[in-house]
Amino acid sequence: MRHSNTVAFHTLGCKLNFSETSTLARSLEDAGYARVKVEERPDVFVLNTCSVTENADKECRRHVRRFQGINPEAFIAVVGCYAQLKPEEIAAIPGVDMVLGANEKFDLAAFLDRHARADTASRQGHAHYSPIKDLKHFVPSYNANDRTRTFLKVQDGCDYFCSFCTIPLARGRSRSGTIAETVEQAEMIARSGVKEIVLTGVNTGDFGRQHDQNFLQLIEALDEVEGIERFRISSIEPNLCHDGVIDFVASSKRFAPHFHMPLQSGSDVILERMRRRYDTALYRERVLRIKERMPHACIGVDVITGTPGETEEEFVNTHEFLRSIPVDYLHVFTYSERANTTAVRMDESVPMETRRERTKQLRILSNKLQRAFYERHIGSSRLVLVEAEEQEGQVHGYTDNYIRVALLFDPSIINKVIPMELGRINGDGHVQATIPAFQLANCAIS
Residue 144: what pLDDT? 75
Domain CATH code at residue 269: 3.80.30.20
Residue 57: what pLDDT? 79
Q: Are residues 255 and 357 in the same domain?
A: yes
Phi, psi of 244 (to 5 degrees): -60, -45
Confidence of residue 1 (pLDDT cuts 50, 70, 90): very low
Q: Are residues 80 and 205 in the same domain?
A: no
Q: Are residues 126 and 191 in the same domain?
A: no
Domain end marker among 355, 376, 397: 376
Least confident of 11-25, 203-217, 308-322: 11-25
Confidence of residue 106 (pLDDT cuts 50, 70, 90): very high
Decide if 62 is inside a domain: yes
Q: Are residues 106 and 159 in the same domain?
A: no
Stretch 10-23: mean pLDDT: 90
Q: Are residues 239 and 340 in the same domain?
A: yes
CA of 270: how far to CAs of 57, 303, 340, 424, in Å? 28, 12, 19, 39
Decide if 93 is inside a domain: yes
Q: Are residues 371 and 237 in the same domain?
A: yes
Confidence of residue 331 (pLDDT cuts 50, 70, 90): very high
Q: Are residues 198 and 339 in the same domain?
A: yes
Residue 445: what pLDDT? 44
Stretch 302-328: mean pLDDT: 97
Is pLDDT larger for residue 148 or for residue 79?
79
Decide if 1 is inside a domain: no
Q: Could you tell me what percent of the chain has a pLDDT over 70?
A: 92
Is pLDDT larger for residue 323 or for residue 336?
323
| Per-residue pLDDT at 323 exceeds 90 | yes
Stretch 76-84: mean pLDDT: 95
Stretch 320-336: mean pLDDT: 96
| Per-residue pLDDT at 14 exceeds 90 | no
Domain span at residue 58 reads: 6-134
Domain CATH code at residue 386: 2.40.50.140
Q: Are residues 120 and 162 in the same domain?
A: no
Stretch 37-44: mean pLDDT: 95
Q: Are residues 222 and 371 in the same domain?
A: yes
Q: Are residues 301 and 189 in the same domain?
A: yes
Average pLDDT, the chain: 92
Domain end marker among 360, 376, 392: 376
pLDDT tens-digit profile of 135-173?
889 999 998 766 789 999 999 999 998 888 888 888 999
Report the predicted TM-score, pTM, of the whole model to 2 decimal places. 0.91
Stretch 356-371: mean pLDDT: 98
Stretch 4-26: mean pLDDT: 90
pLDDT tens-digit profile of 224-252?
999 999 999 999 999 999 999 999 999 99
Q: Are residues 255 and 363 in the same domain?
A: yes
Residue 185 near residue 221 (C-beta atoms within 8 A): no
Least confident of 141-150, 292-301, 357-366: 141-150
- Overall number of domains in the chain: 3
What is the C-alpha to C-alpha distance for residues 406 and 357, in angstroms, rounded to an integer? 32
pLDDT tens-digit profile of 385-405?
999 888 889 999 999 999 999
Q: Are residues 198 and 280 in the same domain?
A: yes
| Per-residue pLDDT at 345 exceeds 80 | no
Domain end marker among 335, 352, 376: 376
Domain CATH code at residue 66: 3.40.50.12160
Handedness of CA 314, 320, 324, 325 (dihedral sign): positive
